[in-house]
A and B are shown apart, each in its own frame.
Chain A
Amino acid sequence: MTDQGKSIVANNNLWVGTLVRSREASLVLLILALTATTNILNPRFLSPQSLKDLMLNVSIIALLVLGQTVIILMRQIDLSISSIVGITAFLSGTLFVNHPGIPNLVVVLIAVGAGLALGAVNAALIAWGKIPALITTLGTLYIFRGADYAWVHGRQVNAVNVPGSFLAVGTSTCLGIPLLTWIVLILLALFSIGLRQYRTGREFYAIGSNPGAAVLAGINVNRRVATGFLISGVIAGLAGALWLARFGTVDATAGEGIELSVITSTVVGGVAITGGVGTVVGAVLGALLLSVFSSTLVFLRVPSFWQQAFQGAMLLLAIAMDAYLAHRHALRSRVKWSHV
């Protein structure tokens, strides 16, 4: 083969490679392909109502994914978010029940404050108690949920007791997009800019890529890790308040088990569980992909009992493919370097 031919092939590969390597692009492609296929098989997949439901379904998970991304970037993990959501969701509900006429914003602020306080418990134990995040947040997952159960104990907040203006956040739309989704999109933009442009944001990446080097570079690792868990707590508190707006009914079990969906979304979205790699946009796209996928299973009338297995297989496929592409990329760049 001539040199020219070789370079054309290489060029082609480079272009495709860049596209595939950009996690966000490949996620968007996957989402589009999945949507198109499902829509051909069942044209109501893209009906306005089903799109609205899809956006609402993904919103709260996507919101939590923002906080989790910051954590995982630093090679940490936060399992306790689902319990924080449970507590703050019920807290928001009881505020409406016990203080009729309380402004919505005050309720949201209190929920966020509670989330911050619970996040501070994690932050203190991890940053200053020197307990690994996995253990701390597994522990607080139990403790916060236990406290939630002990406090709520079979009570329930019903939609009747929540003002319509608050529930509207979970139902009404603006420019065809639900308000709840707008909130997530705005926060996504803020997080994305913050992580990319600001020093603090870059430091999160530095800590995850190489904690030792981060210390040597003069980054206050403890403080950044603590900040991360505070952010995660705040986000979970906000998600709790929005949970109430979305579902209207809240009991002690609100949010149970969503920590796994959130982590799964984050990982599928290309945030490496080993830290330092990934973007919030990718992570939110990961959440969207999983949501579209489970919606597809419903539309294609896959029996309920098969859905869990499909979702597990999907996660494995996503991370395996990711590793494969990264591996090939690494091999190719090694080859390229050897030519130089």
Chain B
Amino acid sequence: MSENESSTRRLARRLSWEAILGALLLIAISGGGFINKDFLTAENWANLLANFVEIALMALPLSLIVITNEIDLSVASILGLSSCLLGLLWEFKCPMPAAIVICLFAGALCGALNGFLIVRFRLPSLAVTIGTLALFRGFAFILLGDTAVADFPPEYAAFGLGVIAHTFVPAPFAIFIFLAIVFWVVLHHTTIGRSLYSVGGNQTAAFFSGVNIHRLKMLLFICSGTISALAGIIYTFRFSSSRADNGTGFELSAIAAVFLGGVMVQGGKGTITGVVLSLLLIGIINNVLTLADVSNEILRIVTGSLLILSVLLPNLIASTRERWRFMRRQREIAAPV
């Protein structure tokens, strides 16, 4: 009896958020396959993965930013700006590789502006990036206004739409996989990663232990800007369309994915694995519900509920664990008597 209990307790302790997400993912996949015979086709998976590739890309640096207890709401506006810039450069006959490099650089500059205001002026990132959310989107409208650029070269459009040979993995998604691995290594296996956690956990302590907090945060925001610009380029090729309103509102989806992935809003906690799992989970749930003709309205409710549950569940688990520990201590105290 007591052995049984201890094994449950051990299970509970090991029940990390990633494990729960993984289990949910398996349930979603098998449930999806059960409900709809079209769900497990290669064609559907190619669409499913391509659907959220931009949001997935932006979620990677955003996770690190949230781990250091900051936030970046301007990512989707940088996506839109980079998409417009790419269209404009292409219209002015700029060779495509050069245009791509310029866009990435512009994204880095946007990120640097965020970083500068947050680090140098010590401004709260929430307020700064609400401002740049409007500013960068405004730049996008200044660049293209009501016009759209659509005549992108076929080979680039083919990249946006294509899949890697002999698989169902969309070509842009391969970029995400590569970057996810890079971010995983950096966060979990380098000193930079450890400093990120320490900054998020306790900024003062991190400072005294010799972490250059300013440089670290600056780099993070530049990285976020650059990758958001990359997402903008991919978006442009995927839809062969460069418009000022591209990707409006994506920032909320990216942030939702980061939180659902178990990254704590107070900083100091979270893993890339969790974020990747949560991205997949959201993508799959959306896909399954759309295939089942569930209306878009319900999708919003599901996303919101998932977000809240992502924190509520671990909290409940933690408090249950706490109660177990308390009961065990009570029993231990009671036992000798």
Residues of A at the B interface (CB closer than 8 Å) are 77, 125, 129-132, 134-136, 138-143, 145-147, 149-150, 153, 260, 263-264, 267, 272-274, 305-313, 315-316, 319-320, 323-324, 327
- Closest-by-CB residue of B relative to A324 is B121
- Of A136, A141, A319, the most chain B CB neighbours within 10 A belong to A319
- Closest-by-CB residue of A relative to B299 is A146
Q: Among the listed B124, B131, B137, B308, which residue makes an inter-chain contact with A316, where contact means beta carbons less than 8 Å apart?
A: B131
Residues 277-309 of chain B, each 1 if its beta carbon lies under 8 Å from chain A, else 0:
000000000000000000111111101110110
Contact status B127-A309, CB under 8 Å: no
Contact status A319-B127, CB under 8 Å: yes
Contacts A273-B124, A320-B123 known; A125 to B312 CB distance under 8 Å?
A: yes
| A-B interface, 4 closest residue pairs, ranked by CB to CB distance from nearest | A309-B138, A312-B135, A142-B304, A312-B134
Residues of B near A316 (CB, < 8 A) are 117, 128, 131-132, 135
Chain A CB within 8 A of B311 CB: yes
How far does the alpha carbon of A267 sit from the alpha carbon of B307 in the complex, in Å?
A: 26
- Closest-by-CB residue of A relative to B135 is A312
B-side interface size class: 35 or more
10 more CB-based (< 8 A) A-B contacts, given A138-B252, A139-B307, A316-B131: A134-B71, A135-B310, A140-B304, A145-B300, A264-B131, A273-B126, A305-B145, A305-B244, A315-B134, A323-B123
22 contacts between A and B (CB under 8 A): A129-B311, A130-B311, A131-B308, A135-B259, A138-B304, A141-B304, A146-B301, A149-B296, A150-B298, A260-B130, A260-B133, A260-B134, A305-B141, A306-B141, A309-B139, A312-B131, A312-B138, A315-B127, A316-B131, A319-B131, A320-B121, A323-B123
Q: Among the listed B132, B136, B256, B308, which residue makes an inter-chain contact with A125, where contact means beta carbons less than 8 Å apart?
A: B308
Interface residue ranges of B125-162 to A (CB < 8 Å): 126-128, 130-139, 141-142, 145-146
How far does the alpha carbon of A272 sit from the alpha carbon of B123 in the complex, in Å?
A: 10
How far does the alpha carbon of A320 sit from the alpha carbon of B114 in the complex, in Å?
A: 12
Contact status A306-B301, CB under 8 Å: no
How far does the alpha carbon of A238 sit from the alpha carbon of B67 in the complex, in Å?
A: 37
Interface residue ranges of B230-282 to A (CB < 8 Å): 244, 252, 255-256, 259, 265-266
- Closest-by-CB residue of B relative to A136 is B308
Majority-rule SS of A interface residues: helix
Chain A CB within 8 A of B215 CB: no
Contacts A138-B256, A273-B127, A323-B123 known; A146 to B138 CB distance under 8 Å?
A: no
- Closest-by-CB residue of B relative to A146 is B300
Residues of B near A132 (CB, < 8 A) are 265-266, 311
Contact status B315-A129, CB under 8 Å: yes
How far does the alpha carbon of A260 sit from the alpha carbon of B127 in the complex, in Å?
A: 10
Contact status A323-B301, CB under 8 Å: no
Contacts A140-B304, A142-B304 known; A312 to B124 CB distance under 8 Å?
A: no
Contact status B117-A142, CB under 8 Å: no
Q: Among the listed A138, A150, A315, which residue makes an inter-chain contact with B307, where contact means beta carbons less than 8 Å apart?
A: A138
Contact status A134-B265, CB under 8 Å: yes
How far does the alpha carbon of A136 sit from the alpha carbon of B146 in the complex, in Å?
A: 36
Residues of A near B14 (CB, < 8 A) are none
Q: Among the listed B127, B137, B259, which residue makes an inter-chain contact with A267, where contact means beta carbons less than 8 Å apart?
A: B127
Smallest beta-carbon distance A80→chain B, Å: 9
Smallest beta-carbon distance B148→chain A, Å: 14
Smallest beta-carbon distance B37→chain A, Å: 27
Chain A CB within 8 A of B10 CB: no
How far does the alpha carbon of A147 sit from the alpha carbon of B135 in the complex, in Å?
A: 31
Contact status B142-A309, CB under 8 Å: yes
Chain A CB within 8 A of B122 CB: yes
Residues of B near A313 (CB, < 8 A) are 131, 135, 138
Contact status B265-A135, CB under 8 Å: yes
Contact status B315-A150, CB under 8 Å: no
Residues of B near A153 (CB, < 8 A) are 297
Smallest beta-carbon distance A316→chain B, Å: 4
How far does the alpha carbon of A125 sit from the alpha carbon of B312 in the complex, in Å?
A: 8
Smallest beta-carbon distance B17→chain A, Å: 14
How far does the alpha carbon of A220 sit from the alpha carbon of B132 in the complex, in Å?
A: 37
Residues of A near B131 (CB, < 8 A) are 264, 312-313, 315-316, 319
How far does the alpha carbon of A215 sit from the alpha carbon of B304 in the complex, in Å?
A: 31
Q: Among the listed A139, A274, A312, A320, which residue makes an inter-chain contact with B304, where contact means beta carbons less than 8 Å apart?
A: A139
Contact status B130-A150, CB under 8 Å: no
Contact status A309-B252, CB under 8 Å: no
Residues of B near A134 (CB, < 8 A) are 71, 265
Residues 20-31 of chain B, each 1 if its beta carbon lies under 8 Å from chain A, else 0:
000000000000
Contact status B142-A306, CB under 8 Å: yes
Smallest beta-carbon distance B121→chain A, Å: 5
Residues of A near B300 (CB, < 8 A) are 142-143, 145-146, 149
Residues of B near A146 (CB, < 8 A) are 297-301, 304
How far does the alpha carbon of A311 sit from the alpha carbon of B136 in the complex, in Å?
A: 11
